[in-house]
Structure 1
Amino acid sequence: MKKIALRFSIVVFIMLSIVGTSMAQQWKSYIVGVKGDTLNRVDKQDKKQGKWVVRIESLRGEPGYEEEGVFVDGRKEDTWRKYSLMGDLLAVENYKWGMKDGSNLYYSSLTGNVAIEESWLAINPDKKYDTIDVENVDDPGHFTRVIIKNEGASLKHGTWKYFDPTTGFVTKTEFYHLGKLDADPLAKAASTDSPTSVKKDAAKASSKPKEVEDFEKQNSGKKKVRVRDGATGY
């Protein structure tokens, strides 16, 4: 039994040595997590890969934090979570090509409730120009293809909401279209029903046909001309 146990230990040691050697050959550096998984991997091209845990200590009055997520070829990808050094959730961010993309949530450090919800659009940094499909806010479900010059950063795009951290109610809403602050779609719709708009529509509806205008010009200054108007009793 002792010989079998010894042989088993040797086999396990050899296997771990092979795995360790293979890992060392594949990665320039890495750490082993508490669960035995490899974290914070850096490949031979000095690019961060796979799951990472980043810890930033407090410095000059600025609170530290810890964040975890995935790197692909040195760029943040998918969902990242940020925590205070006490373990409280501070943010849930989404990334594409290393840039913010989609919905990003930021939490109040006092109540733990959502304080801000941001909306971003990532532009492929490998292209000078990128073609994207943008949904028409006035006609949901319909998209327009737009060519955008790459400025090297994400664009604010979509609805931004600001919350009261205590009650959770929305206190402010902003709408962005490809980095530019846009008018509220509801306000746009309401503007079509404004008094000015109604007056314009009424004036347009009450405008006389060209034939009637020509007839009035030809008979202006003359005695009243009787015309048939469809009434009976002549």
Structure 2
Amino acid sequence: MRFLLLPLLIFSVNTIFSQCKSYKLSSNGDTLNCVDFNDLKQGRWIVTTPKLRGEPGFEAEGVFKNNRKEGLWRTFNLMGDLIAQENFKWGNKNGRCLYFTIAGLEREESWRAVNPDKAFDTLDVVDPGNPNLYERIVVKNDGNSIKHGIWKTYSPNTGVLIETEEYIMGKLKSEIDAEKINTLAISKPIADTTKKQASKILPKEVLDFNKKQSKKNKPVVTGRTGN
């Protein structure tokens, strides 16, 4: 069995190498940092950024698909401590992203990726008032992710949650709620005025009858009932 697996392993390695114009091998023989013959980054990568002009260096690891980050990426400082855990789709942040200091979790973000290959993208968004309803919206694509979901900030010293914000397709939910309240406040007086004006309008038949009765000096019919 051992001898049967060896040719398969050699074939698999040769296939990977034939797809990569350049690559590196890890200490355990894994293929890293593959650039294919279309000059596109593919597969698992480890990207090292050295210190520069006072900025700390870091090392990121994850998967590239056709030159775009895809799935989970983790970033470490040069001491090996985890400082970021991000999710990507189409090369843009998508979903929950976490950022750390030595003391622990510092920030939590939530993103919605849009397809950069489209000028416009159609997304289903949960109705903030009813989680069972979805609204289909069309967004103009500027190539960047959209803030969408819960964002949290923690104290770097104590780890206590100090701020929570909710975004809906790039806008703070609190601002959206305020806009809805203002819209209702403006539309209600207009609706009340329209209703009052409608209540004053009498049918043509009543108007004609009142005109005839006024000539006879008889009580005018207003359309009201009761005393």
- How many equivalent pairs are there? 186
Shift of 1:181: 2.6
Contact kept in structure 2, 1:39 and 1:50, CA below 8 Å: yes
Give the SS at the match of 2:132.
coil
User: Match of 1:176?
Assistant: 167
2:43 maps to amino acid:
G
Contact kept in structure 2, 1:174 and 1:184, CA below 8 Å: no
For residues 60 and 79 of structure 2, the distance between their equivalents in structure 1, rounded to whole angstroms, comes to 12
- Of stretches 78-87 and 155-164 in structure 1, the one that deviates more from structure 2 is 155-164
User: Match of 1:43?
Assistant: 36
1:79 maps to amino acid:
L
Identical pairs, percent: 46
Give the SS at the match of 1:168.
coil
User: Residues 44 and 135 from structure 1, CA distance in 2 versus in 1: closer, same or farther, beyond 3 angstroms?
Assistant: same
- What residue ranges of structure 1 are gaps of 5+ in the alignment? 1-7, 192-196, 205-210, 212-226, 228-234
User: Match of 2:82?
Assistant: 89
Give the SS at the match of 1:28.
strand
Shift of 1:176: 1.7
Is the aligned partner of 1:63 residue 2:56? yes
1:55 maps to amino acid:
T
Name the Cα RMSD after superposition: 3.1
User: Match of 1:28?
Assistant: 21
Shift of 1:20: 6.0
Is the aligned partner of 1:160 residue 2:151? yes
For residues 137 and 40 of structure 1, the distance between their equivalents in structure 2, rounded to whole angstroms, comes to 42
For residues 93 and 71 of structure 1, the distance between their equivalents in structure 2, rounded to whole angstroms, comes to 13
Is the aligned partner of 1:78 residue 2:54? no
- Of stretches 58-67 and 171-180 in structure 1, the one that deviates more from structure 2 is 171-180
Using structure 1 for the length normalisation, give the TM-score: 0.69
Spell out structure 1 runs of 4+ moving beyond 6 A. none
Give the SS at the match of 1:141.
strand
User: Residues 21 and 92 from structure 1, CA distance in 2 versus in 1: closer, same or farther, beyond 3 angstroms?
Assistant: closer
Shift of 1:21: 5.2
Using structure 2 for the length normalisation, give the TM-score: 0.71
Q: 1:101 aligns with which of 83, 89, 94?
A: 94
1:175 maps to amino acid:
E
